[in-house]
Amino acid sequence: MIIRDGHLGDVPAVLAMFDGAVAWLTSLGRTGQWGSEPFSADAARVERIASWATSGGMRVAELGGRPAGCPVVGPAMPYVTPASEPELYVQGLVVDPRFHGRGVGAALLERARAEAAGLGIALVRVDCYAGDDGRLVAYYESQGFTRTESFMVGDWPGQILETRLPATTG
């Protein structure tokens, strides 16, 4: 697996990853996280992915030369309580369902930790959908994150999780 910086040319592949994830979740009856409509059919979501591609925080994981996952790191999202210290925030994370079970998500989260450490930042946070049976929250916990604060965006339940790195100098 290689993880590289993302760019505008990756937008179609990242949209396809989100569309695949939505279709997979919908097939399981789990539409609370992202709904049942493809990201590529929603102009606001397309614009968000394009803005991520130009933010400098998009990464793309490739397996066998094929896009397999994408995280975006940067400042905290506007709907969460700001941290009281410098942080790296995982603004988005998607893994193409064709690559589930191959460690893509874990590698992308490890990359975020490494980027934070390289910047001398000890705090990495992420938020995720906290509805249904809590499987997504449990996934982040299995990756070394701990729950901090729950929140709501409209009727969408979210959970902020964090992980702390050893003290570093930047």
Residue 166, pLDDT score: 84
Beta strands in 42-165 (DSSP E): 59-63, 66-74, 87-95, 123-129, 146-153, 156-164
Nearest of 83, 92, 107 to residue 162 by alpha carbon = 83
The answer to whether the CB of 110 falls within 8 A of the CB of 73 is no
pLDDT-based confidence at residue 168 (cuts at 50, 70, 90): low
pLDDT-based confidence at residue 139 (cuts at 50, 70, 90): very high
> pLDDT at residue 146 above 90?
yes
Q: What is the mean pLDDT of residues 138-143?
A: 97
State the Cα–Cα distance between residues 10 and 48, nearest whole angstrom: 13
Q: What is the mean pLDDT of residues 59-87?
A: 96
Per-residue DSSP letter, 29 = T
Nearest of 150, 95, 151, 161 to residue 124 by alpha carbon = 161
Q: What is the mean pLDDT of residues 18-31?
A: 95
The answer to whether the CB of 123 falls within 8 A of the CB of 88 is yes
